[in-house]
Amino acid sequence: MPAQTSLFLCLKDNFGVLLHDPQSGATAAIDAPEAAPIEAALAKTGWKLTDILVTHHHADHTQGIGPLKDHHHCRVVAPRHEAKRIAHVDETVGEGDTVRVGLLEGRVIDTPGHTAGHISYFFPADKVAFVGDTLFSIGCGRVIEGDPEMMWKSLLKLRALPDDTRFYCGHEYTDANIRFAKTVEPGNKALAARANEVAGLIAAHKFTIPATIGAEKAANPFFRADDAELAKSLGLAGSPAWKVFAEIRERKNRF
């Protein structure tokens, strides 16, 4: 049976998301930005929280873990290289490990750069990925603990997932990301189409994710740093892709 998801906002612009296995009844929260909206989503769906899958140690992804674990006695799975910085961890995982949520099987992908031990979770049977603050729709996370080359390699791993993979990210930043992306690739038609789509979603008070990996390849400049035309337009023809990525990221930091 296909997995089900529930998406909602936490804090100011964090996404909370639940992943539910209808066959076993198991339900995972991907990160725990804030306990109350997660509890509300559980009450609304009638799902019982069995697991929390953590992507990275930042407080806006972990501060709900304590109260949720107290209430639901759920298992907490966290990145191996950041487990010391996250409270209440039961199990640590890294690249290639399998994480089960009931009968759903996810694969762990190390995606360092935003933080040094950041991980993402990919569920191949349902083609759904949870990418935390590594990839955003039409954007990517700030490179805080890693370096640009590391972050670019992490983005390449996510870009290699099947085109029809739907991904859930940690923040609703799409609209602001589009405004920036248009300054980098003003002539990108896929980006213009995504901008129209997002304007419609926002007008209808809907979320702009999940997006697909295939659509991001065409429109997200951070996925396109190895595009020769893009490199040339930035004055970086012939530079390694990670240097082009670093330039785009630096421009976004200043935007």
Q: Which of 21, 31, 51, 60 is catalytic?
A: 60
Query: Among 40-48, 101-109, 131-139, 201-209, which window interacts with Zn ion (CB under 5 A)?
Result: 131-139
Question: How many of the chain's residues bind Zn ion (CB under 5 A)?
Answer: 2
Q: Which of 20, 58, 72, 81 is catalytic?
A: 58
Residue type for 208, please? T
205 included as an active-site residue: no
- DSSP character string of 8-56: EEETTTEEEEEEE-TTT--EEEES-S-HHHHHHHHHHHT----EEE---
Structural contact between residues 55 and 99, judged by C-beta atoms closer than 8 angstroms: no
Give the residue with the Cβ less far from Zn ion, 47 or 173: 173
User: By CB under 5 A, is residue 216 in contact with Zn ion?
Assistant: no
Q: Which of 20, 61, 72, 81 is catalytic?
A: 61
For the chain, the farthest-separated pair of C-alpha atoms sits apart, in whole angstroms, at 55
58 included as an active-site residue: yes
88 included as an active-site residue: no
User: By CB under 5 A, is residue 133 in contact with Zn ion?
Assistant: yes
114 included as an active-site residue: yes
61 included as an active-site residue: yes
Structural contact between residues 30 and 14, judged by C-beta atoms closer than 8 angstroms: no
171 included as an active-site residue: yes
Give the residue with the Cβ less far from Zn ion, 110 or 133: 133
Q: Look at residues 220, 223, 222 and name the one whose alpha carbon lies nearest to residue 209.
A: 220
- By CB under 5 A, the residues from 12 to 71 that bind Zn ion are 58
- By CB under 5 A, the residues from 219 to 248 that bind Zn ion are none
195's CB contacts (< 8 A; 6+ apart) are 178, 182
Q: Look at residues 44, 40, 92 and name the one whose alpha carbon lies nearest to residue 68.
A: 40
Q: Which residues bind Zn ion (CB under 5 A)?
A: 58, 133
Q: What residues are labeled active site?
A: 56, 58, 60-61, 114, 133, 171
